[in-house]
Amino acid sequence: MEAGYDGATEVYKSDQRSRVWRVEVEGVSFVVKRFDFAPWRQRLGLLTGRHPASIEWRSNVMLHDAGVPVVPIEDGGTEPAGIGCRVWLATRHAGRSLQRLLRECDVEADRQAAIEAAARLARRVIDRGFNFKDLKPSNIVIDGPTARLIDVGAARRGADPARVGRMLGVMDRVMIRDGVDAATRERFRTLVGCR
């Protein structure tokens, strides 16, 4: 697979750090994340094993092996860029983000089912002994009754109460910013078991 931006069917994110888009390859929908920061720094990061893509791939495997549902990274590579490179990762498209679902869905039963799935996922992260300091609605993918994590480079072992509190605090602040009502946020916290 190549990470070409041409042919993108939908762009999810584009900033100085990275671009994320959806592309169809032989009838299969993939989401590609390409890191766009300084190419020479990317090459150095790859050589030292500290590139965000390397960290994300290792975290993805670590969470999967521990039984935490993630959207698996299926492919990755580099594109030449001057004296450095741009690194990309690809996953299969696995549903809508919780953020998008809460923003676009008018069916209250579907919204509540998505919150329940996200809460079960957050509880699984905690029960498996992890802290994911970037837990937020845009990093939770909902497909029917299933919720899985994406963009997991910020996941670490160690779910002590202070870290869990900060992790859930990030989720709450982002839901407030996204306009999620107080009752839905409280339901999420209650279902996670951390009121």
Q: Evaluate if residue 36 carries a pLDDT over 80.
A: yes
- Three-state secondary structure call for residue 70: strand
End-to-end CA distance of the chain: 44
Domain residue limits at 171: 96-192
Please, what is the average pLDDT of the chain?
Answer: 94
Is residue 118 within 8 Å of 136, Cβ to Cβ? no
Pair (133, 166) in one structural domain: yes
pTM of the model as a whole? 0.92
Q: Quote the CA–CA distance of 64 and 114 in Å, as a whole number.
A: 21
Confidence at residue 158, expressed as pLDDT on a 0 to 100 scale: 87
Q: Quote the CA–CA distance of 15 and 37 in Å, as a whole number.
A: 9
Q: What is the arithmetic mean of pLDDT over 148-169?
A: 92
Q: Quote the CA–CA distance of 58 and 169 in Å, as a whole number.
A: 25
* Last-in-domain residue among 56, 74, 92: 92
* Last-in-domain residue among 75, 92, 109: 92
